[in-house]
Structure 1
Amino acid sequence: MEKIKQISLLLKKIYHEKILARKVIDDFIRKQNLNSKERRKLSDFLYDCIRYIGYVRSQNFQITFDEISRLKSEEFTPDIDTLVTLFGFNEEIAKKILVSINPKDFKLFLRRAPLTIRANMLKTTREKLYLEYSKKLKKYELKFTEYSPYGLQFDNHINAKTLNKFKKGYFEIQDEASQIITFLVPAKPGNNILDICAGSGGKSLSLASHFYNSVNIDAYDIDKKKLEILKKRAKLTDAKINITKKPKSFYYDVVLMDAPCSGLGTWRRDVDLNIRTTENSLNKKIELQRKIFDNSLKAAKKGGYIVYVTCSFLVDENEMQVDYFLKKYKNKIELISVSESLDPKYYSKLIVNNFFKTSPAQNDMDSFFGAIFKKTI
């Protein structure tokens, strides 16, 4: 009974305070005296409770393993009422979800995302990593990613950060869709690239690996703590990345804008996005995206490119933003089909109306969106 009460209080805290569920849940499980199998079972249960937080809330946050199992086995229609009452989404966000994705794909977001890693080509190849880990980690099924030539996917989750090769910079943990963003960047050796929302550097590190340090990468972000993480990972991975305090104006051949967004395309991983995403938070993200695009346009040189990326499936952050940019900067930018960067022979399923779009329906990837603009003036 004590454990049930603790779980109830934990779920209430996450729901009402809108704090990051992953951290709270991990901290809670760490304090329990459990073996690895029991930890996995409890972890899956708590994450499922967050996924179905609408129903859990209706039960005053008192929920059992059997009830969650029943919910997971039941068929449902992804309509507004279901998204609100079962999954706890804000009603306005629920409406936006339904106009943004195929309802059949919604159920795929209820599954746990796979663990995918990206081989650092500056130090190794995915083939070498496969040979090593297929022998050392025999209880896991390991396979090559279908679209990214750098990715490996595990059938089950392991703490990859404890592996020696990660500590030495041989690979990064990165979803396959995120890995493919590198291929959207229309650059060649010697070009200057700005990663304007670099964060802790997933895309910058990927670019350095993909281009074998043959491009000049400036990484910028307002969060200096994240840039410190990037600085350490760059050194570890042999990636040549310049941390810049202020991007240059009218200078870059390509500006990669991995925009701050709702993140709903990663809902399988960040399961509390149904709680934290509101109409107000979304509107703030949209305004921020527009401000950063202004800065990206200023940083790009004439004839340069802006690669706009989100990890969201909402049309408000994707197609509608593209329309806004094209209208605001009429005669200053033009939309370039992503097929000019992504070979349709290999990536045809990921090219939709000139845009890059992925979903869990495609090789178990997160939902990403990408558009390419060329600066004409």
Structure 2
Amino acid sequence: MRLHRNLVYAVIDGLQLIFNENKYADKVVEQLLKRDKRWGARDRGFIAETTYDIVRWKRLYAEIAEVKEPFSRENLWRIFAVWAVLKGIRLPDWPQLEGTPARRIKGHFDELSKIRKYRESIPDWLDLLGEKELGEAVWTKELHALNQQASVIIRVNTLKTNKKALQAALKEEAIETLSIKGYPEALELKERANIFKTNAFSDGLFEVQDASSQLVASFLGAEPGMRIADACAGAGGKSLHLAAKMENKGQIIALDIYGNKLKELKRRARRNGAHNIETRPIDSTKVIKKLHNSMDRVLIDAPCSGLGVLKRNPDAKWKLQPEFIENIKKTQQDILNDYSKMVKPGGKMVYATCSVLPSENQDQVALFLNSENGKDFKLIKDKKVLASTSGFDGFYMALLEKVS
């Protein structure tokens, strides 16, 4: 591979924003790719993948480069040089890369690779927490899996098409896809591509949604004619899937504290042809109170640490703090207690997170079932999805039934 100066400069600028100014990697990459209209797919791919790669392995590369945060521009170049040497890329004769000690970099890499927190590039506190909650063997495997690049998975929108027809439509646009055993509506892209520019996307034939996330709608038991609340709907990936499962029959009330996310859901619903979704921002306690004891199904896709989706959001491990996890556990319990009141007697609720930590998952369900509001519920089943065993995002879901 030959390095091009303007592409590498873009990567260095992006790393400066992500590491030193705490910007989100996905937003930074999105902006970088708009810099030069002449850049083709290969150039854009280099910028995105290199930036994410260095974000993912920040601790390891910084340790090898012997630099500390906040990183000066010179030190960002040193980190980039470590990336290039370890990838086997011949360094060009640029002043910023002069004197790169390739042999020493490889030697450091071999030494540090024996220590998990460096090898898997994770903060000390997070490494200790994961081991404490999952055990050393499971955590070691899970960490390794979460450091792999995520596949691009899409969900067929069955309101408009089926899997075979979608595969054919995408093939016409030079995008090859594979079915995934055990995931009836999922397709995996053979190669990464900008699928948002396809006619199939603008026609609403699919949504990008990880395979693990696609398990939730079936787990909830959504059926045509039901009344369902998606209590933490966000931009509505799961609401749209529920609408397809319900064949547009019945009602989905999509709730969220962020009104702008619900506006995005409305746009997506129009594109998907999903007509049974009503959005309601949670701007006071009255919004939930009005729905008490009235829902056949309630989905609580709770805010969480996001540790199960580090493949797609590698910068999250650097942004997370121990106090955030403690605070989010309190929030999860509050949400369970408040939103469970929407379930009608005989109705069911799913509590789900994209975390792999038991303290955010089964421990929260057990705590709820032992609470005053939880005494009317029983656990029907739960499912723990690990990235190391599924190959997809880490996820958790528990199905509870209101018995009285």
TM-score > 0.5, shorter chain as reference = yes
Are 2:227 and 1:222 equivalent residues in the alignment? no
Please point out which of 278, 292, 306 is paired with 2:321: 278
**SS of 1:189 mapped into structure 2:** coil
Q: Deviations over 1:54-103 (max 9, x none)?
A: 1233333322243442799x789999x632x4555332221222233442
Change (3 A) 1:371 1:265: same
Change (3 A) 1:295 1:54: same
Are 2:393 and 1:366 equivalent residues in the alignment? yes
Are 2:48 and 1:43 equivalent residues in the alignment? yes
What residue is the counterpart of 2:230 in the other structure? 195
Distance 1:364 1:135 in 2: 28
Distance 2:121 2:386 in 1: 22
Greater mean alpha carbon deviation, residues 24-33 or residues 207-216: 24-33
Distance 2:246 2:110 in 1: 46
Are 2:204 and 1:169 equivalent residues in the alignment? yes
Distance 2:298 2:110 in 1: 44
Change (3 A) 1:182 1:6: closer
What residue is the counterpart of 1:82 in the other structure? 116
Please point out which of 217, 236, 245 is paired with 1:210: 245
| 1:199 Cα offset (Å) | 0.6
What pairs up with 1:64-75 in 2 under 5 angstroms?
64=81, 65-69=83-87
What pairs up with 1:86-235 in 2 under 5 angstroms?
88-98=121-131, 99-100=133-134, 101-137=138-174, 140-235=175-270
Structure 1: stretches of 5+ with no match in the other structure: 338-354
**SS of 1:66 mapped into structure 2:** helix
Change (3 A) 1:165 1:106: same
- What letter corresponds to residue 233 of structure 2 in structure 1? A
- What letter corresponds to residue 364 of structure 1 in structure 2? G
**SS of 2:159 mapped into structure 1:** coil
Distance 2:9 2:204 in 1: 42
For these two proteins, the number of residue pairs brought into alignment is 356
**SS of 1:212 mapped into structure 2:** coil
| 1:5 Cα offset (Å) | 6.9
What residue is the counterpart of 1:241 in the other structure? 277
Please point out which of 280, 300, 315 is paired with 2:358: 315
Distance 1:141 1:231 in 2: 29
What pairs up with 1:48-67 in 2 under 5 angstroms?
48-58=53-63, 59=65, 60=67, 61=76, 62-63=78-79, 64=81, 65-67=83-85
- What letter corresponds to residue 349 of structure 2 in structure 1? I
Change (3 A) 1:214 1:29: closer
Are 2:391 and 1:336 equivalent residues in the alignment? no
Distance 1:20 1:250 in 2: 39
Q: Deviations over 1:117-144 (max 9, x none)?
A: 111111111111112223431xx54211
Please point out which of 3, 17, 22 is paired with 2:21: 17
Q: Contact 1:114–1:364 at 8 Å: present in 2 too?
A: no
Q: Contact 1:194–1:255 at 8 Å: present in 2 too?
A: yes
Are 2:312 and 1:269 equivalent residues in the alignment? yes
TM-score when normalising by structure 1: 0.86
Q: Contact 2:11–2:50 at 8 Å: present in 1 too?
A: no
Change (3 A) 1:110 1:303: same
**SS of 2:178 mapped into structure 1:** strand
Change (3 A) 1:367 1:75: farther
Q: Contact 1:220–1:244 at 8 Å: present in 2 too?
A: yes
RMSD over aligned CA atoms reads: 2.7
Change (3 A) 1:217 1:2: closer
